[in-house]
Structure 1
Amino acid sequence: MSDPDLVLDCLGMRCPLPVIQLARRIGEVEVGAVVRVLADDPAARVDIPAWCRMRAHEFVGADGNAYDVRRAS
Protein backbone atom coordinates (compact mmCIF):
# COMPACT_ATOMS: atom_id res chain seq x y z
CA MET A 1 0.00 0.00 0.00
CA SER A 2 1.33 3.42 -0.92
CA ASP A 3 1.41 6.53 1.25
CA PRO A 4 -2.09 7.92 1.78
CA ASP A 5 -3.07 11.55 1.32
CA LEU A 6 -5.17 11.53 4.50
CA VAL A 7 -5.17 9.18 7.50
CA LEU A 8 -8.27 8.79 9.67
CA ASP A 9 -7.57 7.28 13.08
CA CYS A 10 -10.76 5.42 13.92
CA LEU A 11 -9.12 2.90 16.24
CA GLY A 12 -11.41 2.09 19.14
CA MET A 13 -14.51 3.31 17.28
CA ARG A 14 -17.32 0.83 16.74
CA CYS A 15 -19.56 0.36 13.75
CA PRO A 16 -20.72 2.53 12.05
CA LEU A 17 -18.39 5.32 13.21
CA PRO A 18 -15.37 4.48 10.96
CA VAL A 19 -17.58 4.62 7.85
CA ILE A 20 -19.25 7.81 9.05
CA GLN A 21 -15.84 9.44 9.53
CA LEU A 22 -14.78 8.31 6.05
CA ALA A 23 -17.98 9.70 4.51
CA ARG A 24 -17.55 13.04 6.28
CA ARG A 25 -13.89 13.51 5.43
CA ILE A 26 -13.31 12.00 1.97
CA GLY A 27 -14.25 15.36 0.44
CA GLU A 28 -11.12 16.88 2.00
CA VAL A 29 -8.89 15.18 -0.57
CA GLU A 30 -8.68 15.61 -4.34
CA VAL A 31 -10.25 13.11 -6.74
CA GLY A 32 -7.74 10.27 -7.16
CA ALA A 33 -6.25 10.75 -3.69
CA VAL A 34 -6.15 7.95 -1.13
CA VAL A 35 -7.69 8.04 2.34
CA ARG A 36 -6.44 5.47 4.84
CA VAL A 37 -8.87 4.49 7.58
CA LEU A 38 -7.32 2.90 10.66
CA ALA A 39 -10.04 0.81 12.27
CA ASP A 40 -9.92 -2.17 14.60
CA ASP A 41 -13.66 -2.88 14.61
CA PRO A 42 -14.14 -6.25 12.85
CA ALA A 43 -17.14 -4.84 10.96
CA ALA A 44 -14.85 -2.41 9.11
CA ARG A 45 -13.55 -5.29 6.96
CA VAL A 46 -17.03 -5.56 5.42
CA ASP A 47 -18.40 -2.05 5.94
CA ILE A 48 -15.67 -0.02 4.25
CA PRO A 49 -15.61 -1.99 0.95
CA ALA A 50 -19.43 -1.99 0.92
CA TRP A 51 -19.52 1.78 1.43
CA CYS A 52 -17.06 2.19 -1.46
CA ARG A 53 -19.31 0.18 -3.77
CA MET A 54 -22.40 2.16 -2.74
CA ARG A 55 -20.66 5.54 -3.16
CA ALA A 56 -18.63 4.63 -6.27
CA HIS A 57 -15.22 5.07 -4.67
CA GLU A 58 -12.40 2.57 -5.17
CA PHE A 59 -11.53 0.24 -2.32
CA VAL A 60 -7.78 -0.10 -2.82
CA GLY A 61 -7.21 -2.76 -0.18
CA ALA A 62 -6.59 -3.60 3.44
CA ASP A 63 -3.49 -4.39 5.45
CA GLY A 64 -4.26 -5.36 9.02
CA ASN A 65 -6.27 -2.51 10.52
CA ALA A 66 -5.56 -0.12 7.62
CA TYR A 67 -8.12 0.31 4.81
CA ASP A 68 -7.28 2.39 1.75
CA VAL A 69 -9.96 4.15 -0.30
CA ARG A 70 -9.33 6.15 -3.49
CA ARG A 71 -11.70 9.06 -4.02
CA ALA A 72 -13.41 8.61 -7.38
CA SER A 73 -15.61 11.69 -7.55
Structure 2
Amino acid sequence: MKKINIMLNLIGLRCPEPIMIIRKNIRKIKKNETILVLSDDPSTKRDIPHFCNFMEHQLIECLTSIKPYRYLLKKGIY
Protein backbone atom coordinates (compact mmCIF):
# COMPACT_ATOMS: atom_id res chain seq x y z
CA MET A 1 0.00 0.00 0.00
CA LYS A 2 1.14 3.53 -0.71
CA LYS A 3 2.30 5.90 1.99
CA ILE A 4 -0.62 7.66 3.66
CA ASN A 5 -0.06 11.25 4.74
CA ILE A 6 -3.45 11.80 6.41
CA MET A 7 -6.13 9.36 7.51
CA LEU A 8 -9.67 10.68 7.95
CA ASN A 9 -12.21 8.67 9.93
CA LEU A 10 -15.51 10.11 8.68
CA ILE A 11 -17.70 7.26 9.94
CA GLY A 12 -21.04 8.57 11.15
CA LEU A 13 -20.86 11.80 9.15
CA ARG A 14 -23.39 12.46 6.41
CA CYS A 15 -23.36 14.54 3.24
CA PRO A 16 -22.03 17.21 2.84
CA GLU A 17 -19.69 16.87 5.84
CA PRO A 18 -17.34 14.20 4.38
CA ILE A 19 -16.56 16.27 1.28
CA MET A 20 -16.12 19.45 3.31
CA ILE A 21 -13.63 17.74 5.64
CA ILE A 22 -11.76 16.10 2.74
CA ARG A 23 -11.49 19.44 0.96
CA LYS A 24 -10.21 21.18 4.10
CA ASN A 25 -7.56 18.50 4.71
CA ILE A 26 -6.43 18.10 1.11
CA ARG A 27 -5.44 21.76 1.18
CA LYS A 28 -2.97 20.98 3.99
CA ILE A 29 -0.92 18.45 2.03
CA LYS A 30 1.48 18.82 -0.88
CA LYS A 31 0.96 17.68 -4.44
CA ASN A 32 1.21 13.87 -4.79
CA GLU A 33 0.65 13.25 -1.07
CA THR A 34 -2.25 11.00 -0.07
CA ILE A 35 -5.32 10.89 2.15
CA LEU A 36 -7.04 7.71 3.26
CA VAL A 37 -10.75 8.25 3.90
CA LEU A 38 -12.96 5.88 5.90
CA SER A 39 -16.69 6.50 5.56
CA ASP A 40 -20.00 4.72 5.96
CA ASP A 41 -22.11 7.29 4.09
CA PRO A 42 -23.45 5.74 0.86
CA SER A 43 -23.41 9.13 -0.86
CA THR A 44 -19.59 9.12 -0.72
CA LYS A 45 -19.64 6.42 -3.42
CA ARG A 46 -20.82 9.13 -5.77
CA ASP A 47 -19.47 12.28 -4.13
CA ILE A 48 -15.79 11.39 -3.66
CA PRO A 49 -15.18 10.31 -7.30
CA HIS A 50 -16.97 13.48 -8.51
CA PHE A 51 -14.95 15.64 -6.10
CA CYS A 52 -11.67 14.11 -7.29
CA ASN A 53 -12.60 14.55 -10.93
CA PHE A 54 -13.77 18.15 -10.48
CA MET A 55 -10.78 19.22 -8.35
CA GLU A 56 -8.28 17.23 -10.45
CA HIS A 57 -7.16 14.93 -7.65
CA GLN A 58 -6.55 11.23 -8.27
CA LEU A 59 -8.75 8.53 -6.74
CA ILE A 60 -6.13 5.81 -6.39
CA GLU A 61 -8.25 3.24 -4.61
CA CYS A 62 -11.97 2.91 -3.96
CA LEU A 63 -13.19 -0.04 -1.88
CA THR A 64 -16.96 0.15 -1.41
CA SER A 65 -18.09 -3.47 -1.23
CA ILE A 66 -18.23 -3.44 2.59
CA LYS A 67 -18.40 -0.74 5.25
CA PRO A 68 -16.47 1.23 6.15
CA TYR A 69 -15.81 2.35 2.62
CA ARG A 70 -12.16 3.17 1.92
CA TYR A 71 -10.91 5.79 -0.50
CA LEU A 72 -7.29 6.64 -1.21
CA LEU A 73 -6.89 10.06 -2.77
CA LYS A 74 -3.75 11.66 -4.15
CA LYS A 75 -3.58 15.43 -4.27
CA GLY A 76 -3.42 16.86 -7.75
CA ILE A 77 -2.66 20.39 -8.84
CA TYR A 78 -5.08 22.24 -6.52
Compute the TM-score of the two structures, normalised by the length of structure 1. Answer: 0.90
Q: Which residue of 1 aligns with 2:76?
A: 72
Which structure 2 segments of 5+ residues have no match? Answer: none
Task: Quote the Cα distance in structure 2 between the aligned partners of 1:47 and 1:6.
Answer: 19
What is the alpha-carbon root mean square deviation over aligned residues? 1.2
Following TM superposition, the consecutive aligned residue runs of length 4 or more in structure 1 with deviations greater than 4 angstroms are: none
Within 1, Cα distance between the matches of 2:28 and 2:50?
A: 21
Unaligned runs of 5+ in 1: none
- Whichever structure has more helix as a proportion of its residues is 1
TM-score normalized with structure 2 length: 0.85
Larger CA Rg, structure 1 vs 2: 2
Q: Could you tell me how far 1:45 is from its partner in structure 2?
A: 0.8
State the distance in 2 between where 1:62 and 1:42 align: 13
Percent of aligned positions with the same letter in both sequences? 26
Structure 2 residue 14 is the aligned partner of structure 1 residue 10: no
Q: CA deviation at 1:14?
A: 0.4
